[in-house]
Structure formats: structure tokens, C-alpha cells
Amino acid sequence: MAESIEKGSMAGDTLTANEAVRFLWEWRTYRNEGFWQTFYLMGFAVIILTIAPYFFPDMVKKLGAAVLAFPIVTFLLSGFTSYLLVVEYKLYKVADRRYRELLGKFVPQDIQGWLFRRPLGKVIAITFALFGTVVQVISGAVLLSLAYGVLP
């Protein structure tokens, strides 16, 4: 692996294969961490915004139909988060593909199974969006019924 990989057009502006693999591993790790940090941080925000009105039932009754702002904002945040997750996943796949190309014949055996043959990042993003949509519709209905005294 002593051969060098051209980085630019200037003489001496090259990376060795080992340096390139190390660089791509770090980039791939950074992208992976970015995906999961987005998932956890925004997931926490969505959960907090979903359950917050239920801790203040008096406020829900005072707000009336305005209480729907909570599920609407949470729905929008969930959709935006799903978009961010897809972007993070695509960036990760670019780094992963290039990393695997540089490894060549040294690529480790991939984990087999149905789940790992799917683009996991996209599955998580779509699930996040669907879960956010369904939960916010149900939450909106429950909050409206609480606001107008339908439920005890």
C-alpha cells in the first residue's frame, strides 16, 4: 500500500493509500456520528414537544384550539429531522463507498441479513417521519378533546 493517490495537480501533493484510508475512516466516522447525534437530539426535542402539553392540563383548557400549535410544530420538526437524516445518511454513504473502494480486497465481511441489506439510514428517517406524523395526529386529537372537555 505504498502507492500514492493523487490529491491535486501539484507535484508532491499526494496522499499515500494508508493516509487516504485513515482520512476516509475519520470522515466516515464523523458522518456516522452526525447522523446519530441528529437522530438523538431531534428525537428528544420531538418527544419533549409531544408530551409537554400533557403535563399542564390547565394550560391546555385555556389555550383551546391553539393547543394544536404543539402537534403542528412537532410535525414540522419531525419532517425537517427526517430530511436532515436522509442528507446525513447520503453523506455517510459517499464516505463509506470511497472508504471501501480504497480498502479493495481488504474489505471485511459484511453483516448479512434482511435489515443490513436495506439502506438503514433511509429506513430510520422514513420511520421517524411516519411515527412523527401518526403520533402528532393522535396527539392533536387528544389535545383538542382535552381542551374542550370531551375527555375527563
Q: Does 81 map to a domain?
A: yes
Q: Does 37 map to a domain?
A: yes
Give the lowest-confidence range in 8-22, 53-67, 93-107, 119-133: 8-22
Q: Does 7 map to a domain?
A: no
Number of domains present in the structure of the chain = 1
Q: Does 45 map to a domain?
A: yes
Distance of alpha carbon 58 from the chain centroid? 34
Q: Which domain holds residue 119?
A: 15-147
147 pLDDT more than 90:
no
12 pLDDT more than 70:
no
149 pLDDT more than 80:
no
CA gap 101, 28 in Å, rounded: 13
**How many residues are there in the chain?**
152
Q: Does 38 map to a domain?
A: yes
Q: Does 105 map to a domain?
A: yes
Among 72, 55, 47, 83, residue whose Cα is nearest residue 141: 72
Q: Does 28 map to a domain?
A: yes
84 band by pLDDT with thresholds 50, 70 and 90: very high
